Structure 1
Amino acid sequence: MNEQWVSFANEIKKMYGKYFVPLHEPTFNDTEIEYVTDCVKSGWVSSVGKYVDRFERELAEFTGVKRAVAVVNGTAALQIAMKIAGVKPNDEVFMPALTFIATANAASYLQAIPHFVDVSEETLGLDPMKLEEYIKEIGVMKNGNLVNKKTDRIIRAVVPMHTFGHPVDLDPLVELCLRYNLALVEDAAESLGSYYKGKHTGGFGVAAALSFNGNKIMTTGGGGAILTNDERLADYAKHITTTAKVPHQWEYVHDEIGYNYRMPNLNAALGCAQLTKIEGFLASKRALAIRYEKLVEQIDGTRLFMEPTFATSNYWLQTVILDSEVHRRDDVLALLNDAGAMARPIWTPLNELSEYKICPKDELTVTEKLKETIINIPSNPLKGHAFYDKT
């Protein structure tokens, strides 16, 4: 069995032509140099400039929402998305336990309480059916709000995360939110270019958050964006992320406590350049998944996680599911990394982290299973692929 994993790592190194293949690398060429150079020459490199406005406009067009508000990173985007959706101090927020810590941190910054629920093996994301059963167990409607009977706190929102770019099953989740007066806020940090039943993720709820970290489908170096179809909420998000400053020719008047979450024009210039290539990135990621699927099939007790039938995934992070009776996760990780192909496990479930152990939670059966059976493997676009070369 060890030989199969070493052979797999060697195939990955051959594909990329490298002695050691990292999990992610950004893809840049002359377009990025051109746009960033133009931004530098303009002198407008900070929070004001033509590229910020252009990036927001083109991002909204690509994702099919009415508005996009560019900010400093994905965590800030999610915090503000929850805030404009009505999350207040002492509210509880449903979210998967199997997600990056930023999902819970964003709620905590608003002094809200993460409430952890289980995920689905079909999507790796929040399971709407299990959530419905759990709500019936612990929830009661009071004055139009869903209240946790055990804590007497209002449960204000649901925050599904599209794990590794694979969309959760959104239709039943939308219906559930309508029935229980819950705000749907999508953590779409990993799902730029992913579609649920033909509609881009991030447009199904009150608001959503994207990330443009260096390891994402496309990058602005550091950055994120809030998506919404509500013009009023978009204006408010823009206002409070730019220090809540009231427009004036010279006066500094701020009408509430705001946030300095502005995306610099320099980062937005990089983002505009990357957006011109997004279709090529997505096509190359999909081609890589198809190639990996054939390679993984050759290893006993494994499978590559493929998009759900109702979704079109961006395949941001290629994911191998192990049969725990055949493979020990940490043994596989050691073999791949030692052989020159970077691999990592999924995140530690948030309910296991010291800062979040006290948070309310449902039974997390699938979460517990997946944390021991998921590994991620190198997911960079492949050089030499037709779509990659067009970038």
Structure 2
Amino acid sequence: MFEQLKDLIRSMYPGENTIPLHRPSFSQEEASAVAACINSTFVSSVGPEIGEFEKLIAKFCDSGYAIATVNGTAALHLSLHVLGVHSGDIVLTQSLSFAATGHAILQTGAKPVYIDIALPEGSMCPEALLHFLEEECKQQENICIHKASKRRIAACVPMHSFGEPAKIAAIAEICRNWSIPLVEDAAEALGSFTEGKHCGTFGTFGILSFNGNKIMTTGAGGMILCKNETLAKRLKHVSTTAKIPDPFEFRHSEAGFNYRLPNLNASLGIAQYKKLPAFLNKKKTIHREYRVFFQRFCYKLVNNPEAQSNHWLNTVIMNSAEEKEELLQFLKVHDIQARPAWYPLHRQQHLQSVTDLPLPQTDWLYSRAVSLPSSVPFEAPCYD
């Protein structure tokens, strides 16, 4: 099967010596947009492209508002900060995630508690979440309290793994019933929909990433999706060092962050956004190629069959940890980049949980998952 997979990947990316896991797709449109921004001299955190980019993403996601940030980690930290997450609190999340999810929690002074994932989508399991809350927590004056540690459950941060939508509607309902603010880590899920809504719009906030390896990029960048105007204004205020508008004086209303996306990056994002429909269509084709191939050999992909995924990374589930390692080494020898899932956060010393919950599905998927090349292999046409 390995040889046939190598041939399939080579056929999808003809003429390339080393095939990357995921890379950006640029053309003259991006170069012209960035050059125009440079010529305007508005290259830092003030400029018209930032506002335009925010409006485009807010409209695409139907989120009401979108606040651009320097990266997805900053977007997540800012979201938790504005929600009032602080030292001594607990934030529920999943261990199968990029370390930035855990690091943003630590930045607030809170501690993580990891909820196991569900398959085949590889994201937080609603049943596991509800079981933890019913067994180990209580509600006290509309606050959820972890009984053993007496800490407040200040937020829940599920992640849409590999761009595949989580069972987020069920998670959102549980969070509402238990008075827990929901922040979706949709860093990889731009263009993914479930229950008729874009990922990142089910909770109080949702965050996106525009890192260089995402489905569209601003080089580095992130976005917070928000439907509440008051909260959106506060997010923007705090992300701009909490500076009070004044033509002369530098006065600040509170401790703020320098988290705004530079205008230069936003200009790149606008050009990339025009190609997003083409990117998503090609992603469908790539996913279909992999799905048909692996069905022949009785392997499954991480996938939510009930949702509309952007198929950011196609991730196959191998039969064993040994077979996973064999595939990674085989593809490496043939100059094809692949990677395992993120090393689980609960196994990393600085990201230890307040309580040790069993995470059998997380450990099982990590031991078998291999993400395969999923870049858009052509220069997508730019259109309005």
Matched, 1:11 2:33: no
1:324 aligns with 2:320: yes
Q: Aligned runs of 1:261-276 on 2, under 5 Å?
A: 261-276=259-274
Q: Say whether residues 1:41 and 2:65 are aligned partners.
A: no
Q: Deviations over 1:67-126 (max 9, x none)?
A: 101010000001111222332221101001111111111111110111111000132000
RMSD across aligned C-alpha pairs, in angstroms?
1.4
Q: In structure 1, what is the equivalent of residue 142 of structure 2?
A: 144
The answer to whether the 8 Å contact 2:21/2:373 transfers is yes
- Give deviations 1:163-221, integer Å, cap 9, x for gaps: 01111112221111111100010001000000012211111110111100000010000
**CA distance in structure 2 between the aligned counterparts of 1:358 and 1:175, rounded to whole angstroms:** 24
Aligned to 1:302: 299
Q: 1:381 maps to what in 2?
A: 376
The separation in 2 between residues aligned to 1:67 and 1:208, in whole angstroms, is: 11
Within 1, Cα distance between the matches of 2:140 and 2:381? 57
Q: Deviations over 1:229-254 (max 9, x none)?
A: 01111100101111110000110101
CA drift of 1:359 comes to 3.3
Mapping of residues 99-114 of structure 1, within 5 Å? 99-114=97-112
- Residue type at the aligned position of 1:305: V
Determine the C-alpha separation between the residues in 1 that align with 2:333 and 2:8: 14
Q: TM-score, normalised by structure 1?
A: 0.95
- 1:313 paired with 2:315, answer no
Report the CA distance between 1:11 and its aligned residue.
2.4
Specify the alignment match of 2:172 in structure 1: 174
Aligned residues with identical type, % of pairs: 38
Distance 1:357 1:390 in 2: 45
1:78 partnered with 2:76: yes
Displacement of 1:360 after TM fit?
2.3
Gap runs ≥5 in structure 1: none
* Structure 2: gaps spanning 5 or more residues: none
The CA distance in 2 between the partners of 1:267 and 1:389, in whole Å, is: 20
**How far did 1:389 drift?**
4.3
Which of 270, 277, 287 is the matching residue for 2:275? Answer: 277
Q: Is the 8 A contact 2:120 2:303 kept in 1?
A: no
Aligned to 1:155: 153
Q: Aligned equivalents of 2:71 and 2:123: distance in 1?
A: 22
| Partner in structure 2 of residue 124 of structure 1 | 122
Aligned match of 2:332 = 337
Q: Is the 8 A contact 1:91 1:154 kept in 2?
A: yes
Report the AA paired with residue 146 of structure 1.
C
CA distance in 2, matches of 1:369, 1:135: 23
Deviation at 1:356, TM superposition (A): 1.7
What secondary structure sits across from 1:157 in the alignment?
A: strand
Q: Alpha-carbon deviations, 1:333-374, whole Å to 9, x = none? A: 101111221110001110100102353242101001001110
Whole-Å separation in 2 of the counterparts to 1:72 and 1:390 = 25
1:60-71 equivalent positions in 2, closer than 5 A: 60-71=58-69
Conservation of the 8 A alpha-carbon contact between 1:63 and 1:200: yes
User: What are the Cα deviations for residues 8-31 of structure 1, in whole angstroms up to 9, with x where unaligned?
Assistant: 113212321212201011001121
Larger deviation, residues 133-142 vs 70-79: 133-142
Q: CA deviation at 1:306?
A: 3.2
Q: Per the alignment, in what secondary structure is the counterpart of residue 128 of structure 2?
A: helix
Displacement of 1:37 after TM fit?
Answer: 1.1
Greater alpha carbon shift after TM alignment, 38-47 vs 168-177: 168-177
Counterparts of 1:318 and 1:231, CA distance in 2: 36
Read off the aligned partner of 1:330 and give its amino acid letter: E
Q: State the match for 2:348 in structure 1.
A: 353
Report the more deviating stretch, 345-354 or 77-86. Answer: 77-86
| Equivalent residue letter for 1:296 | F
**How far apart are 1:136 and its partner, in Å?**
1.0
Matched-pair contact (CA < 8 Å) for 1:52–1:263: yes
Secondary structure in 2 aligned to 1:240? helix
The alpha carbon displacement at 1:383 in A equals 2.4
Matched, 1:237 2:235: yes
**1:185-200 alignment to 2 at 5 Å?**
185-200=183-198
> Could you tell me how far apart the structure 2 residues matched to 1:329 and 1:195 are?
30
Q: Which amino acid in structure 1 is aligned with residue 12 of structure 2?
A: M
What do residues 142-179 of structure 1 show as CA deviations (whole Å, max 9, x unaligned)? Answer: 22211111101011111110001111112221111111
Distance 1:123 1:304 in 2: 9
Q: Note the C-alpha offset of 1:390.
A: 5.5
User: Matched residue of 2:124: which SS?
Assistant: coil
Task: Give the structure 1 partner of residue 206 of structure 2.
Answer: 208
SS at match of 2:191: coil
